[in-house]
Amino acid sequence: MLKRYSPSVRPWTLAALSRAAFTIALIGVVESLVFGAAAALPSLLFVFVWKQAESPWSGAVTMAFAAGPAYLMFALSLMVVSAAMMRITGARTPTAAEMPIAEMPWPLLNWVRAMASTHVVRVFAGVVFRGSPIWTMYLRMCGARIGRRVYVNSLFLSDYNLLTFGHDVVIGAGVHLSGHTVERGVVKTGAVTLGDRVTIGLSTIVEIDVEIGARAQIGALSFVPKHARLESGEVYIGVPARPLSPPAILGTK
């Protein structure tokens, strides 16, 4: 059942603009807090290193060597703090919704806040940790329901609270998979569910409201359209994705 959020009749009303301005300000405040908290540990590391140094030169050299570990500490902290802040502030993608951009309803703006938070983490931490269990852990912290031994080697996933993956799922590099789409000025959302051992091939696009059965393989460079229900154990390829070996009764192979 789709929920359509539409608080006003005319687009770009004063109320809509006020909601947008408030949201932009809130994103600024929240992300400043998140950055500050995430930078606290690395800052302490730098202070410690500087205090141990016997001269400015040795201090500069040891701080240079501390820069790498400090960045890793920052990226790890950023994932934890950002995910916690998303939960605290209620930034998430609404389920099965249709939200006209021009009307700026609150659920759309909550979604914008979630997108902003996850984008910041993608830029500063995703490049380092994608494809690793740490990245999977971050997606879980943001609300994704993800099984064991799941590897997500793409940064083009979003709307984590609408994603459900079984065990042993692999998402190839460059895969676009999210719980939202934008069509004719309306943001539409829908869950994406992948069964155990599903593999999504390189650079494939998976649309909203999709369910893929266990052990299904989606070939590289394929397109899984919205509302698709793909069978367990099958191999699908192409645009749109079709079974690689259609049943003999169809007479195609």
Ligand X SMILES: CC(C)(COP(=O)(O)OP(=O)(O)OC[C@H]1O[C@@H](n2cnc3c(N)ncnc32)[C@H](O)[C@@H]1OP(=O)(O)O)[C@@H](O)C(=O)NCCC(=O)NCCS
| Residue ranges binding ligand X (CB under 6 A) | 170, 172, 199, 201-202, 217, 219-222, 235, 237-238, 244
Which CB sits closer to ligand X, 185 or 240?
Answer: 240
Which CB sits closer to ligand X, 154 or 161?
Answer: 154
Q: How far is the CB of 228 from ligand X (least distance, A)?
A: 16
One-letter identity of residue 131: G
Which CB sits closer to ligand X, 51 or 253?
Answer: 253
Residue (of 110, 73, 107, 68) closest to 89 by Cα position: 110
Q: How far is the CB of 248 from ligand X (least distance, A)?
A: 15
Residue (of 108, 118, 110) closest to 182 by Cα position: 108
Give the three-state DSSP class for 237: strand
Q: How far is the CB of 139 from ligand X (least distance, A)?
A: 17
Q: What CA–CA distance (Å, rounded) separates 67 from 147? A: 34
| Residue 160 near residue 187, CB atoms below 8 Å | no
Which CB sits closer to ligand X, 7 or 213?
Answer: 213
| Residue 171 near residue 135, CB atoms below 8 Å | no
Q: How far is the CB of 70 from ligand X (least distance, A)?
A: 32
Q: What CA–CA distance (Å, rounded) separates 24 from 131? A: 31
Q: How far is the CB of 141 from ligand X (least distance, A)?
A: 24
Q: How far is the CB of 90 from ligand X (least distance, A)?
A: 34
Which CB sits closer to ligand X, 27 or 163?
Answer: 163
- How large is the C-alpha radius of gyration of the chain? 22
| Residue 4 near residue 97, CB atoms below 8 Å | yes
The 8-class DSSP code of residue 221 comes to T
Phi, psi of 218 (to 5 degrees): -105, 125
Residue (of 209, 208, 206) closest to 236 by Cα position: 206
Which CB sits closer to ligand X, 39 or 221?
Answer: 221
